[in-house]
Amino acid sequence: MSAFTQLLSPDSTLALNDGNRIPVLGFGVFQVREGSECENAVRAALEAGYRHIDTAHIYGNEASVGKAVAASGVPREKIFITTKTPPDQSPQGLRKGLENSLRLLRADYVDLYLIHWPLSDVTLAPAWEMLQQFRAEGKCRSIGVSNITVQRFEKALLPHTSVIPAVNQIEVHVFCRRRELVDYCAGKGIVVEAYSPLARAQRMGDPTLARIAGECGVTPAQVMIRLVLQHGIVALPKSSHPSRIKENCAVFGFSLSDAQMAALDALDEEYYSLTWRPQGYY
């Protein structure tokens, strides 16, 4: 077991390539309804100990995130907030999108701003230039990408910039480990963030997960999150239910052995739980 695994705690962070740090566990709010559902979920997450919230322009719930954060009593600088670009990735669209996000989030800056998905090979590099400008203006502390494959990095982004994204947020879970892309990102100093780390609850009944959960005295969801963390990847589980929100962050009181990790890694079968993906994602 690595030293990183032994030291994993609720306060654990990973170093980003720009000198900032990111909490290893974040709370995702995709499909958490704007209004009381999202406000209650974010409040429950902050009470449970999460200090990292992952939202996006298109989730339509940034105002609720902002309201819940403001009401929480937790100082803004103690919470790592990520949001993402709007579908209009023209320079004007991006600027308008970020300004709107900051207003809704009641924030002067976000900790991480991501290109949510590449619109095309041609628009990716200019959009990336804009994010660098936003960072220089202090509107975001770190900048990164999401849903970017090795091919896109190689063809449409890295030949056009000297600024390497701090993160790449992609679908990763026990049934979809994305090893080639994860290894590529590691080699470039890009932290990987796992979205849908629970495979959107589609395969919670898997017998290997159940066996290992039983051995560890935890739930299958906790095993799935812990696996991601032990691979040095940020995990962003979502739930709308306070009990599960709490369960999903109680992943620091046990660890997976090398044998358990190997058994879980054998479940990798490129199973994508999210049916939406940008053009050219494979």
Which residues are the active-site residues?
59
- Cβ 44 to ligand NAP, closest distance in Å? 11
For ligand NAP, the binding residue among 150, 263, 267, 274 (CB under 6 A) is: 274
Angle at 70 between CA 85 and CA 229, to 5 degrees: 60
Told to check if 201 binds ligand NAP by CB under 6 A, we report yes
Told to check if 240 binds ligand NAP by CB under 6 A, we report yes
| Closest of 202, 191, 271, 256 to residue 225, by C-alpha | 256
Told to check if 62 binds ligand NAP by CB under 6 A, we report no
In terms of CB distance, is 136 or 239 closer to ligand NAP?
A: 239
Question: Packing angle between helix 220-230 and helix 207-216, nearest 10 degrees?
Answer: 90
For ligand NAP, the binding residue among 168, 238, 260, 261 (CB under 6 A) is: 238
CA distance 264 to 255: 13
- From the list 88-96, 105-113, 134-142, 240-248, the region that binds ligand NAP by CB under 6 A is 240-248
Told to check if 89 binds ligand NAP by CB under 6 A, we report no
How many residues bind to ligand NAP according to rule CB under 6 A?
Answer: 28
CA distance 16 to 166: 6
Told to check if 87 binds ligand NAP by CB under 6 A, we report no
CA distances from 44 to 69, 199, 251 (A): 11, 22, 16
Told to check if 204 binds ligand NAP by CB under 6 A, we report yes
For ligand NAP, the binding residue among 28, 86, 97, 118 (CB under 6 A) is: 28
CA distance 25 to 255: 15
Q: Classify strands 13-15 and 21-23 as parallel, antiparallel or unpaired.
A: antiparallel
In terms of CB distance, is 2 or 120 closer to ligand NAP?
A: 120
Q: Is the dihedral of CA 202, 208, 212, 217 positive or negative?
A: positive
Told to check if 107 binds ligand NAP by CB under 6 A, we report no
Residues 6+ apart with CB under 8 A from 129: 161
Q: Is the dihedral of CA 189, 171, 146, 279 positive or negative?
A: positive
For ligand NAP, the binding residue among 61, 89, 147, 260 (CB under 6 A) is: 147
Told to check if 97 binds ligand NAP by CB under 6 A, we report no
Catalog residues that contact ligand NAP under the rule CB under 6 A.
28-30, 54, 116, 146-147, 169, 195-201, 204, 219, 221, 236-241, 244, 247-248, 274
